[in-house]
Amino acid sequence: MLATLGTTPSCAFDALPELGAVCERQQLWLHVDAAYAGSAFLCPEFRHLLDGVELAHSFNFNPHKWMLINFDCSAMWVKRANDLVDAFNVDPLYLKHDKQGLVPDYRHWQIPLGRRFRSLKLWFVLRLYGLAGVRAHIRRHVQLAQLFEQRVRADPRFQIVTPVTLGLVCFRLQATNETNEALLKAINAAGRIHMVPSMLRDTYILRFAVCAASTEERDIELAWAEVERQAGRLLPPP
């Protein structure tokens, strides 16, 4: 079974305790995908979103999405390594060596025999920023997302669609799906900012994600001004 912490469309969180209990009863493997949100769990104030992870058999997140690390870098934890190794074990005679069984042989942890040294760039970021620096980066992005949320809520033409938990703001005009789609196309065509849409229960939404490491408050204000400018061409100002 797959559980997601921080879904791509809306940064929603599955209920791990409930799903984990089902998996335990049915003897199912529970994999947790926290591709984007996983970095936020470095901050103690967001760890309640991780409740129930002790029931997972594997956990994956992508440090390149929010931890100041260049693409690509994914980190995966497995409760019982042998389950993974036994599935991918490739051990012909020409690949045997004197250290067989004495050290982890990562060709048995994946489909390809070779692997890139992705952990080196993770090590460099942690050495450069430290835990405090990475936490400050994540918290700053969350604050900037909350600033954008405030701007949206202050304009009665718009609505916030889902709770703003981390660095993603899901919002839309209080209008038809076609009008919201036209708004997004106008925003992206202007070339000042870029957003991507999603559909939640047949409702077209706009996704404003704070991603760039150098984002500042003035960038949020610029982005909102552009949203307002394009929205004014579709609906009268409040």
pLDDT tens-digit profile of 65-91? 999 998 888 898 988 877 777 776 777
Check whether residue 80 and residue 150 sit in a common domain: no
Looking at residue 96, what is its pLDDT? 73
Looking at residue 85, what is its pLDDT? 74
Looking at residue 238, what is its pLDDT? 67
Looking at residue 163, what is its pLDDT? 94
Residue 152 lies in a domain: yes
Residue 16 lies in a domain: yes
Looking at residue 82, what is its pLDDT? 79
Structural domain total, the chain: 2
- Whole-number Å distance between alpha carbons of 193 and 187: 7
Check whether residue 107 and residue 153 sit in a common domain: no
Residue at a domain's end among 90, 121, 152: 121
pLDDT < 70 positions in the chain: 88, 92-95, 112-114, 238
DSSP codes joined into one string, 66-123: HSS--S---EEEES-HHHHHHHH----GGG--TTTTTS--GGGGSSSS----THHHHH
Domain that holds residue 193: 131-232
Check whether residue 98 and residue 172 sit in a common domain: no
pTM of the model: 0.86
Check whether residue 9 and residue 88 sit in a common domain: yes
- Domain holding 170: CATH number? 3.90.1150.10
